[in-house]
């Protein structure tokens, strides 16, 4: 039996429940667990209810549970709201100075902090200490983490007093022979690190949840990562400056969320015409329009595949976990430069802001791959017509080269053309030959991941963050699970290959109109059944299990 626990920790916005959850995650990591944290908060600075679900197991996980083993309530509302989320026999652990008339295990957190002369926010430290004892975690582990993570004031003293004030109730065991990765990071952080490893030079952004984590991370680490980070007046400026920097030879990435990403769209078309490489990140929220800002959805797939005017190809990649997004943000940056094209990394709120266990080896494999550069012989022409449609790059400042780029249709030298139909046709065909090369590289084995029972005739398909939970459930139910990661150019050959012999295809998506279903249909792949959820929240593991099980039993 796999070992697995789910714990909810919650409080009022501003009470620091997220930070406390992260510290607990480090405790569990030390005990040898894989960790996934789901963060839930509203678009409110103070007064809203925030909570994190920390899910830990002795194997990889990425999805949340409906019923949890423990609830840690920093305030009354958390206890009231999440009582129903407890499994039968689950533990309610609460700050007994804030929550009265509650069954379970109280920690006199406020009193302990007051007695030891701490400040109110340190009640979190007391709750961590109290929880650890109740959950049967050794003091030595808590001590090490509090010393490292909460090294200000008398946090250690507070944690110890709380630890000693309660009795052991349960026992969260250490995982023996743990294979759990050593790093903990959000998908936004993994995206930043993956791109940095592949040679990212510049990052521009205008703030927008849930993409802002990228901006904060780059701004904090710009020197260590060597990524110059700049916030600008709006997404339109962001996108256009990115094109300018790429023209000058700097690897550039920009990010926003749904509506903000929509403001990039004119520039995506521009980069296709100018053949200027830029990586665009879209961290989806639930749309349309402003939508549900701090919650998730998968409703931008079709928009990302068709993001602007004109006939052009682009890369769109939708990873599922922090490890995947690290690898693919690096790969996408390399592809953008190798094919001089717009490239879109499609993630969502859960992947952006959720916290995952990540292996250090993930980053060893990411490398900067070279772009096609001018050999400095003869006259330079930015858009030289070649067999594969790829014209060598040179950057302004290069002696003996005049680099003319344009958003207009242009000749090989980059000059505007309007009257010469034959030339307009051949320039479009030059780009089309490049698109064929892009299709080849996109239809690679890594473009489609396959898990679970490979012999199963029932195949479940899902994509993006969803894939983590769907994979887990498919494996449990003995089904084959297929996850397309590259969405454009669509890896038709790989998909058809892995779907060979499939008798029933179940497609799971976090949107209302089955957008991947529409994409697959274009290539003759039809889902027999779809499971959709569009409440702006991700699936629960239990919910998926029940919905998939129902569909299988009907066919039997």
Q: Which residues bind another protein (CB under 8 A)?
A: 182-185, 189, 193, 196-197, 201-202, 204, 221-226, 228, 230, 232-234, 236-237, 240-250, 252, 266-267, 270, 274, 358, 360, 363, 395-408, 414-416
Find the shortest distance in angstroms from Cβ 548 to another protein: 34
Considering the complex, state which of residue 44 and residue 373 has its C-beta at the smaller distance from another protein: 373
Angle value at C-alpha 527, between 511 and 281, nearest 5 degrees: 40
Tokens representing 419 are: 């009257």
Minimal distance, residue 403 CB to another protein, in Å: 5
Distance of CA 241 to the CA centre of its chain: 25
Closest separation in Å from C-beta 250 to another protein: 4
What is the DSSP secondary structure assignment for residue 397, as one 8-state letter?
A: T
Residue 502 burial (C-beta neighbours within 10 Å; 0-12, 13-18, 19+):
middle
Tell me the chain's radius of gyration from C-alpha atoms. 25
Q: Which residues of 93-103 are buried (b: 16+ CB within 10 A; e: fewer)?
A: bbbbbbbeebe
d(CA 324, CA 180): 16
Closer of 204 and 463 to another protein (Cβ): 204
The secondary structure element, H or E, covering residue 452 is: strand 448-452
Tell me whether residue 15 or residue 229 sits nearer to another protein (CB atom).
229
CB of 419 to another protein, least distance (A): 13
SS (H, E, C) 336-348: HHHHCCEEEEEEE
Distance (Å, whole) CA 466 – CA 460 = 12
Q: By C-beta, is 328 or 380 nearer to another protein?
A: 380
Q: Of 117 and 396, which has the nearer Cβ to another protein?
A: 396
For another protein, which is the closer residue by CB, 229 or 483? 229
Of 189 and 348, CB closest to another protein: 189
Judged by CB, which is closer to another protein: 98, or 410?
410
Min dist. Cβ of residue 386 to another protein (A): 21
Using the minimum distance from each CB to another protein, give the nearer residue, 269 or 456.
269
Q: How far is the CB of 333 from another protein (least distance, A)?
A: 15
Burial (CB < 10 A; 0-12, 13-18, 19+), residue 545, is middle
- With a CB cutoff of 8 Å and minimum separation 6, the contacts of 119 are 113, 153
Peptide bond into 540 cis (omega under 30): no
User: What 3-state class would DSSP assign to 21?
Assistant: helix
Contact status, residue 258 vs residue 282, Cβ threshold 8 Å:
yes
Q: Least separation, in Å, of the C-beta of 376 and another protein?
A: 12
Q: Are 398 and 252 in contact (CB under 8 A)?
A: no
282 within 8 A of 254, measured Cβ to Cβ: no
Q: What is the total residue count of the chain?
A: 556
For another protein, which is the closer residue by CB, 226 or 445? 226
Residue 232 Cβ vs another protein, minimum distance, rounded to whole Å = 7
Q: Identify any residues that bridge with 254 across adjacent strands, giving them in sequence order.
A: 204, 280
The alpha carbon dihedral of 229, 234, 236, 240 has a sign of negative
- Taking phi first (over 0 means left), then psi (-120 to 50 degrees means alpha), and beta for anything else, what does residue 406 get? beta
- Least spacing, CB of residue 189 vs another protein, in Å: 7
- The rounded distance, in Å, linking the Cα atoms of 406 and 415 is 8
Question: Residue 268 is inside which H or E element, if any?
Answer: helix 265-274
Residue 503 C-beta: closest distance to another protein, Å: 43
Min dist CB 364 to another protein, Å, is 11
Report whether 343 contacts 351 (CB < 8 A): no
Nearer to another protein by C-beta: 162 or 195?
195
Q: Which is nearer to another protein, 236 or 385 (CB)?
A: 236
Closest contact distance (angstroms) between CB of 34 and another protein is 15
């Amino acid at each position: 039996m796999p070992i697995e626990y789910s714990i909810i920790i919650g409080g009022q916005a501003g009470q620091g429940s997220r930070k406390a959850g992260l510290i607990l995650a480090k405790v569990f990591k030390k005990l040898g667990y894989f960790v996934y944290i789901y963060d839930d908060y509203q678009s409110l600075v103070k007064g809203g209810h925030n909570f994190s679900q920390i899910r830990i197991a002795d194997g990889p996980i990425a999805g949340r549970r409906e019923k949890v083993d423990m609830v840690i309530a920093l305030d009354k509302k958390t206890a009231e709201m999440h009582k129903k989320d407890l499994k039968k026999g689950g533990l309610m652990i609460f700050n007994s100075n804030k929550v009265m008339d509650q069954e379970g295990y109280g920690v006199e957190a406020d009193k302990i902090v007051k007695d030891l002369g701490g400040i109110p926010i340190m009640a979190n430290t007391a709750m961590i200490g109290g929880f650890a004892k109740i959950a049967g975690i050794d003091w030595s582990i808590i001590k090490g983490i509090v010393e490292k993570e909460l090294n200000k004031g008398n946090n250690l003293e507070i944690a110890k007093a709380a630890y000693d004030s309660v009795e052991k109730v349960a026992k969260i065991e250490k995982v023996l022979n743990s294979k759990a990765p050593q790093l903990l990071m959000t998908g936004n952080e993994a995206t930043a690190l993956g791109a940095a490893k592949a040679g990212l030079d510049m990052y521009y952004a205008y703030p927008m949840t849930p993409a802002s984590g990228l901006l904060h991370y780059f701004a904090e680490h710009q020197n260590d990562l060597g990524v110059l980070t700049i916030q600008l007046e709006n997404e339109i400026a962001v996108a256009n400056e990115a094109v300018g920097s790429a023209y000058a030879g700097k690897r550039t990435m920009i990010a926003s969320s749904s509506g903000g990403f929509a403001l990039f769209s004119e520039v995506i078309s521009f980069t296709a015409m100018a053949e200027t490489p830029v990586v665009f990140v879209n961290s989806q929220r639930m749309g349309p329009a402003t939508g549900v800002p701090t919650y998730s959805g998968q409703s931008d797939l079709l928009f990302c595949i068709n993001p602007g005017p004109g006939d052009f190809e682009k890369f769109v990649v939708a990873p599922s976990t922090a490890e995947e997004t690290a690898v693919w943000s690096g790969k996408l940056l390399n592809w953008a430069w190798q094919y001089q094209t717009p490239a879109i990394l499609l993630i969502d709120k859960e992947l952006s802001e959720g916290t995952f266990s990540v292996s250090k080896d993930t980053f060893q494999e990411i490398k900067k791959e070279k772009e096609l550069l001018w050999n400095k012989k003869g006259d330079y022409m930015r858009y030289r017509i070649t067999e594969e449609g790829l014209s060598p790059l040179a950057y302004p400042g290069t002696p003996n080269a005049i680099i003319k780029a344009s958003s207009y249709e242009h000749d090989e030298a980059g000059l505007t053309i309007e009257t010469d139909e034959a030339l307009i046709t051949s320039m479009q065909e030059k780009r089309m030959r490049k698109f064929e090369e892009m299709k080849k590289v996109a239809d690679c084995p890594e473009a489609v991941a396959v898990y679970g029972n490979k012999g199963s005739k029932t195949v479940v398909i899902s994509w993006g963050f969803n894939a983590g939970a769907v994979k887990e459930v498919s494996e449990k139910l003995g089904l084959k699970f297929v996850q397309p990661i590259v969405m454009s150019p669509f890896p038709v050959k790989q998909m058809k290959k892995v779907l060979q012999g499939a008798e029933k295809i179940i497609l799971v998506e976090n949107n209302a109109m089955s957008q991947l279903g529409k994409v697959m249909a274009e290539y003759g792949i039809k889902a027999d059944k779809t499971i959709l959820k569009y409440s702006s929240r991700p699936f629960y593991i239990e919910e998926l299990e029940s919905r998939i099980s129902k569909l299988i039993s009907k066919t039997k």
